Amino acid sequence: MSAKPKSLLIRNGRVIDPASNIDAEMDILLRDGEVAEVAKKGKTRGSADEKFDARGMIVAPGFIDMHVHLREPGQAHKETIASGTRAAAAGGFTSVCAMPNTNPVNDSAEITAWMLSPERGAIVNVFPIAAATVGSKGQELTDFRGLQKAGAVALTDDGKPILEDEIMRDVLCAAAQVGLPVIQHAEDTRMTAGCSMNAGATAFRLGLRGMPDEAEAAIVERDVKLAAATKARLHVAHISTAGALEAVRKGKREKLAVSCEITPHHFTLIDEDVEARDSLAMYDSRFKMNPPLRSAADREAMLAALADGAIDAIATDHAPHSASEKNAEFEQAPFGITGLETALALAVTHLYREKRITLRRLVELFSATPARLLNLRGRGSLAVGSHADVTIFDPAKRWTYDTEKSASKSKNSPFGGWQLYGKVMATVVDGNIVYRF
Amino acid sequence: MAKRRSLLDLEHLSTDDMTGLLRLARRMQRGGPRPLLRRNRIALLFYESSTRTRVSFEFAAKALGATTSVITATASSIEKGESLLDTGYTLRALGTDLIVMRHPSSGAPHVLARNLDIPVVNAGDGLHEHPSQGLLDAYTILRHKKNLKGLRVAIVGDIFHSRVARSATQLLTRFGAHVTLCGPPELCPEIASTLAKNSSVVRHLDPAIRGVDVVMMLRIQKERLAGMNLDIPAYVAAYQLTADKLRIAKKDAIVMHPGPMLRGLEIAGEVADSSQSVIREQVENGVAVRMAILAWCLGAAK
């Protein structure tokens, strides 16, 4: 990030900072990359080089996306760190966590450092999450301490699960020693081979082999037990089933360091959405992701958990793929959709406006909790002295998502053409406006 | 010029279109060959093996005067790794007016049709649908029964892997028939009853075929059973349609099978050859039904 000393005054907005228990009309002065003052309207004392009028807007701690596939190194045709972070900025994210399933897999301090090099051209903060096992092959543990020193904030073999009981136990033990959370892609792949969507009536009608929900629950249940035994911090990625959620709730009741995230598509869509009314619209791989869109009952369980706190964070699982890769037979097309640019609006439209959660809770899910779960000091809050990362959005503004105008290199979103509420008006990283509507 | 359209599945085909296609098939069968499609090039793109579907589509196209070319996965650029869409674009560039495609992946014809400006006819996609078979099954039933409404049809066997079962159920229930799906849990899961409003799952053969008008037997698709441990002798004992079992159905019940059938496995040879069997007639009707489909898709039907 550029370190040019300068100051920015964000005026007249409604500041929602759950970590500081603030929800009020306030002005915020950012200086030298830090929050310098938070004061009542017109009461900041220092002068500012630049002013931003946030009248009618929410001013929130910079959003943190715990789950992003930036595709570099190795798959720059899908996304680069530069293009992915531009999409993040457009979506209001000031920090993104880069998953290690790149090519080669990010299982070393060298690759972690390469990703963090200024030459990558990131315009928001990037926090690499490193592979828990060498090559994410699930056999040999990586050097957790070395990865942590290089800048990794968590460990995962995301894209696939850490399947073997013994290996997962070893990973949790070693991670607990260095204080890093372990993020699990909870899928018992022995139950999901050849499957391309959720098991159920829709899959049966479409003739697609279905992933049973037990495939997710089984891994989470085991992992919660292992987390209890190892005292490690376990974070369940992209939770999607009521069964897995029950296991997380159990872990939380037992006061274990167990947490989970949900993607916007899993609280917005269900498996029935894969089926279309018109033959020509069927088998659209923009509805293919892993975990798959689940049943209406699963979605209901997710919505309840977002409200009552069992789900800790919203993360996009932004998974860019080129048009030619996605435009293929449904069963052959790769899993995943883009999500950085639509996450906030889907949350505003389907969670806040549907009265499932408050704006304060929404902000918390995007900022305070991810910062806490990943130990990102000085982030996820607007308290004086915090990093000058701010997300400014208008929850009432209606807009239409146009994938063609996406900053991402890939356009594989099922939300193209959707009219949504909640527009990011400005994204501020390190005191600099990196995106402005 | 009349509308050109794809035939991808029966689930989304209107009841009027179904009726129209069945009537057109009747006219085709009565009238025989005619050069309705003599200016048309039809590609038969087969990613999976097939005897009756491929040959009957080819004969149907030729009976209408079209130029045809058969492309199979093992003797084309598909073997060299060409993608489905690139193969489609190539056929289009060669002047193909319509592609008939069989593919092991459910929905592949839908993806092809979405990306091309020519009609695509689904000749069987994965486990999903086999619309021309569904139409010829209905056509064959109507040669023996006055009406589909109120008819009781049992489909027995590997429902899970069967695109024939899915297409037949969609069409027959639309016209008011009741379809009973029957097989062991691993081949006929409870969820199969959600296929259509007027369908249900019955686990055992006797109650499934008691008093029915039509018994449709399906083949055990060994090639799709990946990972399943099916006890074949137990299956034969529980589900094979024998002459004895057939007596449970209505006296004038007809026996159908989409083929290829395995005599002595799902069906006893004597039943396949009995006077109640319309299995060979299904194959015969397939040509007329496919003539109707090709003419309809190319807007050449009057």
- Reported as a single tens digit per residue, the pLDDT across A311-331 is 999 999 999 999 999 999 999
> What is the pLDDT, as a whole number, of residue A5?
55
Identify whether residues B276 and B147 lie together within a single domain: yes
ipTM: 0.96
Q: In this structure, is residue B182 part of a structural domain?
A: yes
Which of chain A's residues have a Cβ under 8 Å away from the Cβ of B127? 207-209
Nearest to A283 among B13, B110, B191 (CB): B110
Identify whether residues B118 and B174 lie together within a single domain: no
Structure tokens at A248: 């997380």
A278 touching B, CB under 8 A?
yes
Q: Count the Cβ atoms, other than its own, within 10 Å of residue B259.
A: 17
Identify whether residues B50 and B189 lie together within a single domain: no
A211 touching B, CB under 8 A?
no
CA nearest neighbour of A184 among A192, A194, A193, A175 = A175
Q: In this structure, is residue B8 part of a structural domain?
A: no
> What is the pLDDT, as a whole number, of residue B228?
74
The domain ranges of chain A are 62-380
Nearest to A207 among B8, B13, B127 (CB): B127
Identify whether residues B172 and B274 lie together within a single domain: yes
Establish whether A298 is a catalytic residue.
Answer: no
Q: In this structure, is residue B150 part of a structural domain?
A: yes
> What separation in angstroms does the CA of B182 have from each of B125, B205, B219, B232?
22, 7, 13, 16
Identify whether residues B240 and B288 lie together within a single domain: no
CB contact under 8 A, B127 and A327: no
Identify whether residues B161 and B111 lie together within a single domain: no
Helix (H) or strand (E) holding A50: strand A50-53
CATH code at B216? 3.40.50.1370
pLDDT tens, position by position, B67-110? 999 999 887 778 788 999 999 999 999 999 999 999 999 999 99
Identify whether residues B94 and B210 lie together within a single domain: no
Nearest to A329 among B11, B108, B195 (CB): B108
pLDDT tens, position by position, B100-136? 999 999 999 999 999 999 999 999 999 999 999 999 9
Q: In this structure, is residue B100 part of a structural domain?
A: yes
Give the Cα separation of A333 and A20 in Å (integer): 45
Residue in chain A closest to B10 (alpha carbons) equals A279
Q: In this structure, is residue B4 part of a structural domain?
A: no
Identify whether residues B253 and B126 lie together within a single domain: no
What is the domain range of residue B218?
Answer: 133-281
Residue in chain B closest to A331 (alpha carbons) equals B105
Q: Cα-flanking dihedrals φ and ψ of residue B10, to 5°?
A: -90, -20
With a CB cutoff of 8 Å and minimum separation 6, the contacts of B79 are B73
Count of structural domains within chain B:
2
Q: In this structure, is residue B218 part of a structural domain?
A: yes
Nearest to A282 among B110, B127, B195 (CB): B110
With a CB cutoff of 8 Å and minimum separation 6, the contacts of B197 are B173
% of chain B with per-residue pLDDT over 70: 98
B114 touching A, CB under 8 A?
yes
Please provide the average confidence, as pLDDT, over all residues in chain A.
97
Name the DSSP letter for residue A234: E
pTM of the model: 0.95
Identify whether residues B80 and B67 lie together within a single domain: yes
Q: In this structure, is residue B149 part of a structural domain?
A: yes
User: What's the CATH class of domain A62-380?
Assistant: alpha beta
Best A191, A197, A198, A204 member to test B by mutation, with max B CBs in 10 Å, is A204
Query: Which of the following is catalytic: A213, A223, A312, A317?
Result: A317
B128 touching A, CB under 8 A?
yes
Q: In this structure, is residue B5 part of a structural domain?
A: no
Identify whether residues B34 and B85 lie together within a single domain: yes
What does the CA dihedral A14, A18, A20, A23 come to, rounded to 10 degrees? 30
CB contact under 8 A, A329 and B226: no
Identify whether residues B99 and B32 lie together within a single domain: yes
pLDDT tens, position by position, B229-251? 788 899 999 999 999 999 999 99
Name the DSSP letter for residue B116: -
CA nearest neighbour of A69 among A233, A297, A238 = A238
Identify whether residues B144 and B271 lie together within a single domain: yes
pLDDT for A3 beyond 70 = no
CB contact under 8 A, A207 and B9: no
